[in-house]
Amino acid sequence: MDVELVDIYKTFGRVHANDGISLKVKSGTVQGILGENGAGKSTLMKILSGFIQADSGDILLDGKKVTIQSPADSVKLGIGMLHQDPQDFPPMKVLDNLIIGSPVGLFPNRRKIIKQFEELQKQFNFAISPDNYIDTLTVGERQQLEILRLLWLGAEVLILDEPTTGISASQKALLFETIRKLAAQGKAILFVSHKLDEVESLCTQVVVFRQGKNVGAMTPPYNTDRLVEMMFGKTIARSERICETQEAVNFKVDNLRIDDPRFAIKEVNFEIRRGEVIGLAGMEGSGQAVILRTLAGIVRPTGGHIYMMDGKEGVRTDLAGKHYFQFRNNGISFLPAARLEEGLIQGMSLAEHFALAEKQDGFMVDREDIDDLAGQRIKDFNIRGTPESRIEELSGGNQQRAELALMRNPLRLLLLEHPTRGLDIESSMYIWGKLKQRCIEGASILFISSDLDEIVHYSDRILVFFGGRVSAAFEASQVTIDQLGQLIGGKGWS
């Protein structure tokens, strides 16, 4: 079946997730879709599979206009989506998972379905027992089951969203072989990925999305440099370093190991100097968030050391394995991206937040003192609100400023998740101004951002993450976007 998406628009608040995207995928082809986080890939796939609806634009199947209001609609039309995380029911059996959501009626003929299932999986050399429970399967097998289920439901168009995350090399090979077979059968495949190697080896053509737009297509032979340029843009303004990076080492991460369900992070080594900003680059879920939370003391490493250097020669404290509160008491502060879930407390006022964040003075809360303090901080951090404003009444930018205002003094290390995500330029600049102030006072900053511009612009050094691996640190003043882009896309790792 040929798929055509015409002029799709979708906005979330002020964000144009899809800004007039058009895309045509012919039956029998494997269409690669590349792009940074937030480029609009997932939004478009969700529109095609009925999870969300476009603000405007048309979807055509074999040239005929269709409306897709729900995932059930898309299944009926022959569109199947394989999600990044398997959408199945772990406590149930394989066969039950197959039957759920299929129009087989109240009393399915299990024997017949098993036979169909076995025939289908023989085609692709899968070996899943229909009587097994889902939670005994590997991620790769669950993915295979999901593909079989979609085919069994009659999918002619398959959307695969980052399908190689968390599966083994042999399963990946089998998956690619399967995808090629399916294309040969005349199915249309949409392969969403940020891994350049995979896209280049598998896809018959590639499009690149950037900031909600389709910025270009390419057919083999692929020019990696050109693809990277399309994904990340060409030039990035670099600011001069405001923080004088001091030579003194503040923290030393030594042979850190972390077990994450997706991948094992091994042998992470780097130094954090006083007053420096380190940007952690990489596609979301490449391991940078886990490292950040480990350095914050929230995730416990399985091995290695996090040394806090005491300034004097040779004096150091190992924080690895210690309680989160001990990290905090040593001046390590973590700012989560999910502000209203992890950082701030809905239903409480700004003043109450400041009361909680400050060092407790006595048993009683002195309302007047706290209101004074809140008023002062509100002024210092340019927060639009009053001490009585409840935190959820503030805009995102003001919430972010409030999070910054809540941080204690003095600090040794700031760990920031997406410090300016969703904020306008003015707010972002303000926040970075405040952060640089901290650097001048001697704190170090590690931050995650999916915005490569922000990383290159504000970092002194950059670490790139890919599939749980960590690159050596690059001097931000010398690195090129092409270098970073290739590494983020999984190229150039030894």
Partner 1 sequence: MVSNRTHKAGGLGSALRKLLTNRLSSILIAVILALAITWVVILVMQAPPLRVFGIMLKGSVGSMSAITQTFQAWVPLVLATCGLMFTFTAGLWNIGMEGQIEMGAICAYGVIHYVTGSSTPGYLVIILASLAGMAGGAFWAYLVGLLKNYGGVNEIFGGLGFNFIADAFLLYLVYGPWKPAGVAQGSTKMIDAQYWLPQVPGTYLSLWSLGLAILGIVVVTFVLKGTYFGLKLKAVGKNAKASFMMGIPTSRYMLLSFVLCGVFGGLAGSFQVTGFLHVLRNSISGGYGYLALMVGMLSNYQPLIGVPISLIFTALNKGATGLVIDLQLDTNFSGVIQGLLVLCVLLMQGVRAKLSKGIRGVQHG
Asked if 37 and 283 touch (Cβ cutoff 8 Å), the reply is yes
Identify which of residues 221 and 347 has a Cβ nearer to partner 1 in the complex. 347
Q: Which stretch binds partner 1 (CB under 8 A): 242-250, 395-403, 434-442, 482-490?
A: 395-403
Among 101-109, 241-249, 386-394, 471-479, the segment contacting partner 1 (CB under 8 A): 386-394
Q: How far is the CB of 343 from partner 1 (least distance, A)?
A: 6
- Using CA atoms, how far apart are residues 46 and 69, in angstroms rounded to an integer? 11
* Shortest distance (Å) from residue 328 CB to partner 1: 5
By beta-carbon proximity to partner 1, the closer residue of 112 and 384 is 384
- From 272, 195, 279, select the one nearest 236 (Cα to Cα): 279
The strand order across the sheet containing 56-61 reads 15-25, 3-12, 56-61, 64-66
Run of H or E residues at 293: helix 288-296
Pattern 226-265, partner 1, x by CB under 8 A: ----------------------------------------
Contact 290, 268 (CB under 8 A): no
Choosing from 79, 394, 445, 476, the residue that interacts with partner 1 (CB under 8 A) is 394
Q: Contact between 397 and partner 1 (CB under 8 A)?
A: yes
Q: Which stretch binds partner 1 (CB under 8 A): 34-42, 262-270, 393-401, 484-492?
A: 393-401
DSSP state of 337: S
Tokens representing residue 476 in the block: 């931000």
Three-state DSSP at 431 gives helix
Instruction: List, in order, residues 6 or more apart from 374 with CB less than 8 Å away.
Output: 350, 351, 354, 387
CB of 346 to partner 1, least distance (A): 6
Least distance between partner 1 and beta carbon 347 (Å)? 5
Q: What are phi and psi of 170, to 5 degrees?
A: -70, -35
Indicate the residue type of 94: V
Shortest Cβ 97–partner 1 spacing (Å) = 27
Closer to partner 1 by CB, 18 or 399: give it.
Answer: 399
| Integer CA distances (angstroms), 30 to 165, 180, 181, in order | 18, 8, 11
Q: Taking the complex as a whole, how short is the minimal distance between the CB of residue 294 and partner 1, in angstroms?
A: 15
**Nearer to partner 1 (CB atom), residue 131 or residue 341:** 341
Buried b (16+ CB within 10 A) or exposed e, 214-249: bbbebeeebebeebbbbbbbeebeeeebebeeeeeb
Which lies closer to partner 1 via its Cβ, residue 91 or residue 347?
A: 347
Q: Which stretch binds partner 1 (CB under 8 A): 4-12, 34-42, 392-400, 434-442?
A: 392-400
Secondary structure (DSSP) of 447-489: EE-S-HHHHHHH-SEEEEEETTEEPPPEETTT--HHHHHHHHT
> Whose Cβ is closer to partner 1: residue 150's or residue 355's?
355
Residues in region 301-360 near partner 1 by CB under 8 A: 324-325, 328, 334, 336, 341-348, 352, 355-357, 360
**Which listed residue (103, 127, 363, 379) binds partner 1 by CB under 8 A?**
363
What CA–CA distance (Å, rounded) separates 88 from 94?
9
Q: Which is nearer to partner 1, 443 or 464 (CB)?
A: 443
Tell me the closest approach of the beta carbon of residue 281 to partner 1, in angstroms.
Answer: 25
Q: State the minimum distance, in angstroms, from the CB of residue 329 to partner 1.
A: 8
Q: Which residue has the tokens 């639009």?
A: 384
Please, what is the minimum distance in Å from the beta carbon of residue 325 to partner 1? 6
The residue count for binding partner 1 (CB under 8 A) is 31
What gap in Å lies between CA 103 and CA 99, rounded to an integer? 8
**CA dist., res. 80 & res. 76, Å (int):** 9
Pairwise CA distance, residues 354 & 350, whole Å: 6
x-marked contacts with partner 1 along 406-425 as a string, rule CB under 8 A: x-------------------
Residues that bind partner 1 (CB under 8 A): 324-325, 328, 334, 336, 341-348, 352, 355-357, 360, 362-365, 384-385, 392-395, 397-398, 406
